[in-house]
Amino acid sequence: MSLKSKLHNLKEKYKGKKMAPAFNALHTFLYLPNETTHGGTHVKAADDLKRTMNTVIMALVPCLIYGMFNAGYQHYLATGAIEAADGFLGASFWTLDNLILGAWQVLPLVIVSYGVGLAVEFLFAVIKGHEVEEGYLVTGMLVPLIVPVDIPLWMLAVAVIFGVVIGKEVFGGTGMNILNPALTIRAFLFFAYPTWMSGDKVWVHGAVERSQQIAAGQNVDAISGETLLGAYAQNSTLPGIDYWDMFWGLIPGSVGETSKFLIIIGALFLIFTKVGSWRIMLSTIIGALVMGLIFNGVVDAGWIPDTSKFYGLMSVPFWQHLIIGSILFGAVYMATDPVTASQTNKGKWIYGFLIGFISIMIRVFNPAYPEGVFLAILLMNVFAPTIDHYVVQANVKKRMKRLKVKTA
C-alpha cells in the first residue's frame, strides 16, 4: 500500500474525531491543497500555498547552510585557530570543522523552531477543528536565520510560542495575520532578552561563555563578537574587513543574514518563480538608498559635527548600508511576505520604499537599536492595509472621473 493511501485510510479512520487534524497533518502537508474547488469552470494552476512555501524554503536553504559554515568560521577566527578566509571561496571557510561546529549550534535552533511552532499549530488546529496549515513552514525556517547563534534554546521556544499565538493564531491563523510571525518572534526576543539579542558578545559562538570565564578569573583571551553596525554606531570600525567580506558574508551577524551574495541569488530565484514581489524588493532598496543619500548629504554639507554620536553611521557611504546590516535579508524574505505586505502594485512601491527609508532612519538615529529593519517591517505591516485602502480609493476616484467625462 502506498504512503498516500495509508495516510488516506488513517484520515478516514479518525474522521469526525477531535484529534483528526493531528492525524491528518501529514496527508495535508503532502497531498492536499488547503481548499479545493467543486463544480463550475476554473482556471487550472499549480501555484497553491504549498508551492509558494516550498519555493521560499528552497531559496532559504543556501543561507542556512552558509550560516552553519559562518558560525563555525567566526568562532575559530575569533579564537585565532584559523586565518581569515580570502573571499567567498577562501580555503579556511568551507572546512568540515566549521560545518560541524556550526551545524552543532544552528541545527538545534532549527529543530526547536519547527518543533515548538508546529506543536502550537497542531494544538490550535485540534482546538479549532480545522486542518493544520502550512504557514509555519516558512516562519520556522526564517526564525533560526534571524537570531544570534548563541541564543538559549528555551528563550527561542518561549518566543516562538508567543510569536505564533499572538502574531498569528489570535487573528485566525495563516493568511489572517497582520504581523509577520517570524519578525514578531524576533521582536519578542529583542525586547524580552536584550542581553542575548544585541551587544558585542552574542554574535560569535562562544563569546558569552568566554567572557564569563574571564569574569571567573581564568586566563584566556576575550572574544569580541561585534557586528559592523555595532562598531559604526560607536563611531569606530572593525579592522580587517573590506567591502567584499561584507558582500560575501564573512562577518559576524545573525545566523543567515550575513551573505548578501546568497541573498541576492535567493531573491533572483524568488523573482524568477514569481513567488516574491520584485516591486517590494526593489522599492525597499531604493528607500534605503534615498535615506542613506540624505544622511550623506547632511554630512557633506557639514551640518553635523564629527563628534556627534550619529556621525559614524551617517557618514557611511549610502550604498554600504545595503551590505552592512540585514536590510537585504529583510527586503527579500520578510517584506515580501504576501500576507502582511500591501496587495496592490502601487501600494507595494510605497510599502517597500517606506520600509527601506525607516530602516536606515532607525539604524542611524537610535543607538539602542543598531538594526532597525525588523522594526520598520513590523511597522509597515501594520500600515499595509491602510496603504492598500488609499490606493484602491484613488483608483475608484480616477475611474469615476473618467465615467463622468464619458457620460457628460
Partner 1 sequence: MGKDTKLILDPLADNNPITIQVLGICSALAITAELEASIVMSISVLFVLGVGNVVISLMRNIIPSKIRIIVQLIVVATLVIIVDLVLKAFAYELSKTLSVFVGLIITNCIIMGRFEAFALGNGPWRSFLDGIGNSLGYAVILIIVGFFRELLGSGTLLGIKILGDPVAKTGLYAFGYENNGFMLLSPMALIVVGIIIWVQRSRNKALIED
Residues in contact with partner 1 by the rule CB under 8 A? 152, 154-155, 158, 166, 170, 188, 191-196
The residue (of 152 and 297) whose beta carbon lies closer to partner 1 is 152
The residue (of 198 and 277) whose beta carbon lies closer to partner 1 is 198
The residue (of 80 and 217) whose beta carbon lies closer to partner 1 is 217
The residue (of 151 and 263) whose beta carbon lies closer to partner 1 is 151
Nearby residues of 113 by Cβ (< 8 Å), 6 or more positions away: 140, 141, 143, 144, 156, 160
Entry field: residues in the chain: 408
Angstrom distance (rounded) from CA 25 to CA 17: 14
Closest distance to partner 1 from the beta carbon of 165 (Å): 9
Closest distance to partner 1 from the beta carbon of 211 (Å): 16
The residue (of 14 and 193) whose beta carbon lies closer to partner 1 is 193
The residue (of 88 and 383) whose beta carbon lies closer to partner 1 is 383
HSE (side-chain half, CA atoms, 13 Å) at 257: 29
Q: If phi over 0 gives left and psi between -120 and 50 gives alpha, with beta otherwise, what is residue 249?
A: left
Closest distance to partner 1 from the beta carbon of 194 (Å): 6
In this structure, which amino acid lies at residue 204? V
Grid coordinates given for 259: 551573505
Number of helices followed by number of strands (H, E) in the chain:
18, 0
Closest distance to partner 1 from the beta carbon of 1 (Å): 41
Closest distance to partner 1 from the beta carbon of 124 (Å): 12
Closest distance to partner 1 from the beta carbon of 105 (Å): 16
Angstrom distance (rounded) from CA 251 to CA 258: 6
The residue (of 5 and 195) whose beta carbon lies closer to partner 1 is 195
Grid coordinates given for 29: 502537508
- Check: CB of residue 177 under 8 Å from CB of residue 385: no
Grid coordinates given for 313: 553611521
Q: Which of 245, 333, 320, 235 is nearest to 281 (CA)?
A: 333
Closest distance to partner 1 from the beta carbon of 193 (Å): 6
Write the DSSP symbol of residue 240. Answer: T
The residue (of 196 and 357) whose beta carbon lies closer to partner 1 is 196
Nearby residues of 250 by Cβ (< 8 Å), 6 or more positions away: 70, 73, 84, 85, 88, 90, 93, 241, 258
Angstrom distance (rounded) from CA 295 to CA 19: 57
HSE (side-chain half, CA atoms, 13 Å) at 186: 29
The residue (of 1 and 191) whose beta carbon lies closer to partner 1 is 191
- Check: CB of residue 225 under 8 Å from CB of residue 201: yes
Closest distance to partner 1 from the beta carbon of 13 (Å): 30
Closest distance to partner 1 from the beta carbon of 57 (Å): 29
